[in-house]
């Protein structure tokens, strides 16, 4: 196994989203998902070397997930495997986004070992999602994140999910601890409201950035803002798209952001926390265009924009969509 200074180790869950059919909402189609798996596949499709460290089961759904990740170019050397079934997330799309109802118990999805010995081989280590809060995966994610913060660049997207099967107090505690170790943190305004209630998202992100990290706040159709340790802000409006699907758009934004940072060499020598305002805005523009490529289609696989790569200092102004991520 190899890695590299611009490669990303992604730790977390790969599961199956059961999504209502556009033709008949009473029927559901199986779609590979899970925020970390979406990020790993998105990174590979955008050209960033990615290794997925998750749990794969022994059923047909697991084979579907493995085929999706492998076809994207994601390496699966660090996956754990068992004969257990794959976790399911039943999607419930609505006007304000997509809710989920989870079937998680006794699945291969959350049987993953810690990867503390491998983190030093990668430029960045990503953690977050359900695996960060669901046992027994949560302990492995926490241990790997601690090592990632020490030997690499820890990237966290808490991706807060609420469901009757999840212990809210425990989940909030685990996710706040994880975010506290991150050097690069992406949060939605909804994440902030759950994890740090009582202050505005902007105030919270400014405080978190002041602790020597790059913080990106996403607000769906209202665009995104990057906060740097020197308390500079860069804001970019979201892209205008014809909305077909919002599932996986936030993960595509995360993949676009990490792809941009990797291409810019920003995982090295603290580069991510030293971005200028113009560079941060260029990163946000690129990530927004990657997210828009998912919103405009029925699947969750992003495509690479033709402009706004790392060499671009000043982003092209973009327009707001009618979607949320």
Q: Which helix (H) or strand (E) holds 194?
A: helix 189-195
SS3 225: strand
Q: Give pLDDT tens digits for 63-83.
A: 999 999 999 999 999 999 999
Q: How far apart are CA 192 and CA 160, in angstroms?
A: 9
* Mean pLDDT for the stretch of residues 7-33: 91
For residue 224, being part of any structural domain is answered with yes
Instruction: Please give the backbone phi and psi of residue 185, each rounded to the nearest 5 degrees, phi first.
Output: -130, 125
For residue 187, being part of any structural domain is answered with yes
How many structural domains does the chain have? 1
For residue 164, being part of any structural domain is answered with no
CATH of the domain at 206: 3.40.1190.20
For residue 307, being part of any structural domain is answered with yes
Instruction: Check residue 312 and give its pLDDT.
Output: 41
For residue 100, being part of any structural domain is answered with no
For residue 227, being part of any structural domain is answered with yes
For residue 259, being part of any structural domain is answered with yes
Query: Which residue in 92, 91, 95, 56 sits closest to 77, CA to CA?
Result: 56
Q: How far apart are CA 36 and CA 54, in angstroms?
A: 9
pLDDT category of residue 256 using cuts at 50, 70 and 90? very high
CB 103 within 8 A of CB 90: yes
Instruction: Check residue 22 and give its pLDDT.
Output: 76
Given a cut of 80, whether residue 141 has pLDDT beyond it is yes
Instruction: Give the mean pLDDT of the chain.
Output: 89
Q: Which string of b and e fits 232-243 if b means at least 16 CB within 10 Å?
A: ebbbbbbbebee
Minimum mean pLDDT range among 29-43, 137-151, 311-325: 311-325
Given a cut of 80, whether residue 297 has pLDDT beyond it is no
Could you list the residue range(s) of the whole structural domain that residue 278 is in?
Answer: 183-325
Q: How far apart are CA 190 and CA 254, in angstroms?
A: 16
Given a cut of 90, whether residue 163 has pLDDT beyond it is no
Instruction: Check residue 92 and give its pLDDT.
Output: 80
Q: Strands, DSSP E only, in 176-242?
A: 184-188, 214-218, 224-227, 233-236
For residue 190, being part of any structural domain is answered with yes
Higher local confidence (pLDDT), 95 or 75: 75
Query: Which residue in 42, 23, 22 sits closest to 32, CA to CA?
Result: 42
């Amino acid at each position: 196994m190899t890695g590299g200074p611009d490669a990303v180790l992604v730790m977390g869950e790969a599961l199956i989203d059961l999504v209502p059919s556009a033709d008949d909402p009473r029927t559901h189609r199986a779609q590979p998902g899970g925020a970390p798996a979406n990020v790993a596949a998105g990174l590979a499709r955008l050209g960033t070397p990615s290794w997925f460290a998750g749990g794969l089961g022994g059923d047909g759904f697991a084979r579907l997930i493995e085929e999706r990740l492998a076809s994207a170019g994601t390496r699966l050397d660090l996956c754990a495997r068992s004969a257990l079934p794959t976790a399911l997330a039943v999607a419930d799309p609505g006007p304000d986004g997509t809710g989920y109802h989870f079937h998680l118990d006794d699945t291969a999805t959350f049987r993953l070992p810690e990867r503390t010995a491998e983190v030093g081989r990668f430029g960045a280590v990503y953690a977050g999602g359900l695996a960060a809060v669901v046992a027994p995966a949560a302990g492995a994610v926490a241990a790997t994140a601690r090592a990632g913060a020490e030997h690499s660049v820890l990237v966290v997207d808490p991706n807060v999910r609420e469901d009757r099967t999840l212990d809210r107090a425990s989940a909030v505690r685990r996710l706040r601890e994880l975010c506290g170790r991150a050097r690069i943190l992406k949060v939605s305004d909804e994440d902030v409201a759950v994890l740090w209630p009582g202050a505005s998202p902007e105030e919270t992100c400014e405080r978190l950035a002041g602790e020597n990290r790059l913080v990106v706040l996403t607000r769906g159709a209202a665009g995104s803002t990057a906060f740097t340790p020197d308390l500079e802000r860069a804001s970019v409006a979201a892209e205008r798209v014809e909305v077909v699907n919002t599932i996986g758009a936030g993960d595509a934004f995360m993949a676009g952001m990490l792809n941009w940072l990797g291409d810019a060499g920003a995982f090295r020598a603290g580069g991510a926390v030293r971005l200028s305002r113009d560079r941060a805005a260029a990163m946000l523009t690129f990530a927004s265009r990657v997210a828009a490529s998912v919103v405009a289609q029925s699947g969750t696989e992003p495509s690479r924009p033709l402009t706004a790569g790392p060499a671009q200092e000043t982003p092209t102004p973009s327009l707001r969509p009618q979607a949320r991520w």
